Each structure stands twice: as C-alpha cells, then as structure tokens.
Amino acid sequence: MTKTAETVLEIDLNALQHNFEYIKSKLKANTKTLAVVKAYGYGSDACVIAKHLEKLNVDYFAVAYVDEGVALREAGVKTPILVLHPQIVHFNLLIEHCLEPNLYSERVLKAFIDLTESENQKEYPIHLKFNTGLNRLGFKIEDVDTIDDYLKKTKSIKIASIFSHLVASEDLNEREFSENQINSFNKIIDKFKSKLNYQPIYHMANTSGILNYPNAHFDMVRIGISLYGFGNDQKYTEQLRNVASLKSIISQIYTINKGESVGYNRGFTADKKIITATIPIGHADGIHRSFGKGKGYVTINGSKAPIVGNVCMDMVMVDVTDINCKEGDEVIVFNNQQTIIDLASAIDTIPYEIITAISQRIKRIVK
C-alpha cells in the first residue's frame, strides 16, 4: 500500500460494508435499518458513507441537524432522512430538501403543523420522539392524547415513525432499567395502536440495543457506532472492522539536548539527550491537548512514540529516540480499534469522542 505524504483520514468502505452486514445478521429479515451518519459520519465523511450504504439498501438515514441532511441531499442521497434535532427556524429548509423531522414536544409539533398547513402539504412524514428515561428530548406517554388531538385536526402531516432511546443498553448491570424502558415503549405503542388507523414504524434500539436486547428491535433499528467499527463490548468490537485510519508524516527531526525544552510553555524539559519528530497534526485537527506530556502516542515504523510536551494547534512533537526513522516517514495516529480504545482510555473518554473530533480540514481518502 502506498504510504501517505501528508495528513489524511483513510475511509475503508469494505470495512463499512462488513460492519453493516454483521449488524444485519443479528436482525430478523423484515427489520428495517436506519444508519446514523450525523457528525460527518462519526468524523469520517457522511456523504461518502451514506452513498455507499444506499447501495446496500439501507432504509433510512439519521442526522442531528437540518444542514447535515441538506448536505446529503446535495450529494445525491435519495433515501429518507430523519433529522433528530431540527430547529424551528430551519423547518422551511427541511421541507425544501424533503427531510423528515423528529418532533419531540408540543411546541415543535404545533410549529411544524402550522408551517405545513400554510404550505398546503399533505401527509408530510414526521417522527415522534418519546422519553422513556433518557430525560433529554421527547414526549411522555401522557402526551399521546394531546398528539392525537392535533393529528385529528390536520391532514398536513402523517407519522412515519415513533421512537425512543435506550439509556444504558451497553451496560448489562442496568438490564432492569433497560427492560423497564422497553416495557414503557410498548405501552406507548399500544396507546397509538388504539388511536391510529395505520401503523408507523416503531424503533428503539441503538447499536448496543441491537446486540443486547432483541426484544427492542421492533420494526427498525438505528445503527450508529457499530457502522464505524465499535460494538461497545470487546466481544462485538472484535467482529467489526475499523473504518477510519488517521495518518500523517514526520516533518522534521530534532536533537534535544539535556536541559532544553520542547514546545509551548516549556511543557517538556529533557533530562537527557533525546530525538524528537514534529508531526503536522494538532488540537485543531482533533488531537486533544489532554494527549500532551506523554498521555498520547503515535506509531512510527511499528513503534510507539509518546507525545512530548504540549499539543500545539497544528503540530505535535513525539519522542523517537529509540525509533529508526527519518523525515518524511509515515506516522500512524490510529488505524485499528484497539489504538482508538487505548487513546480514549488515556484521557478518560470514549472512542466516539476520538473519532468524531477529527477536523474537517484533514484530507479524506476513500479506499
């Protein structure tokens, strides 16, 4: 494989397809799939990811905000797109691009009905979010009658799906809480079934819900982090493949003598002669400052090189004293799940934050 000559994020579509097919193997044949491609496809490239998944016949996409959905439409994505947290000010843009809103409160429901009626829309697809314990967004079961009253008074909208969100599906110590959530969602479904003369899609399971709670699959599942290589449990992550690999190069090699310091605020002072390599990637690219002073590392020619001193905006310096390397050599920031897990653990965070933090100024290469 050709080695990089600049800082790049490589996106492996074969790995993406493997992950999608692995998750699908856990589902019943008639269970629909919703692929979550928010946050630039978890830090990769939402349009590239979505267009490939569209070829694999995914049923729905989900994004967080309207502008993310607009970008997919402008890239040619035709599959239905659920916008998980639309703002009222963007409802016109949402309709213009045939995006489907999650309506999670009476305020946003009324606002969307008012707009769709003013534009003479007929049965515009909406999604209703219910809170069963996350306490973040969503209607409560007591709101079903109010929602039904609104629906009876308008033909401008139609429910495409009703959904909720598991709180701790990856933590089997919280199984009782998760089962209570599932039971609560079933009660919401029962209430709607007694009121609607059609059946919307019901969905609740995220990646860990798919893997740990088959009784939460309902009509559709939402595939998020597992698309990108993580199962929130080592036994599942081992069955998945890493999708994004972050690479760079050595710009310059320095000899640092005893007593000399490296980087801003003299974040490192050498107690002996060492060799450092400067890499053109920094906290503006997603390498958090918390990785400084040896907490983070890169890999050069198969060996770990710890970060020396503070992470700069556009550069890091690493210790290559015991590594046989030269200027222009390839540097691996991460290219497998374990490295991402290790880096996350080093600064007490989760793999989500490591991969979604990668700056959009870094060149993307599709493999």
Average pLDDT over residues 41-58: 98
> Domains of the chain (ranges plus CATH)?
13-230 (3.20.20.10), 244-366 (2.40.37.10)
* CA quadruple 347, 351, 352, 358: dihedral sign: positive
DSSP per position, 14-37 = HHHHHHHHHHHTTS-TT-EEEEE-
Give residue 310's pLDDT: 98
Give this prediction's pTM. Answer: 0.96
155 part of the active site: no
Average pLDDT over residues 69-83: 98
- What's the pLDDT band for 2 if we cut at 50, 70, 90? low
38 part of the active site: yes
For residue 365, the Cα-to-chain-centroid distance in whole angstroms is 19
Give residue 3's pLDDT: 86
Closest-CA residue to 66 (of 93, 27, 33): 93
SS3 for 52? helix
Average pLDDT over residues 92-97: 98
Average pLDDT over residues 276-285: 98
Give the CB-side neighbour count of residue 5, counting CA atoms within 13 A: 1
- What's the pLDDT band for 232 if we cut at 50, 70, 90? confident
Give residue 172's pLDDT: 93
For residue 353, the Cα-to-chain-centroid distance in whole angstroms is 9
Average pLDDT over residues 14-26: 98
User: How far apart, in whole angstroms, are the C-alpha atoms of residue 310 and residue 349?
Assistant: 19
DSSP E strands in 7-138: the ranges are 8-11, 32-36, 60-63, 81-83, 100-103, 124-129
Catalytic entry in 110, 155, 258, 264: 264
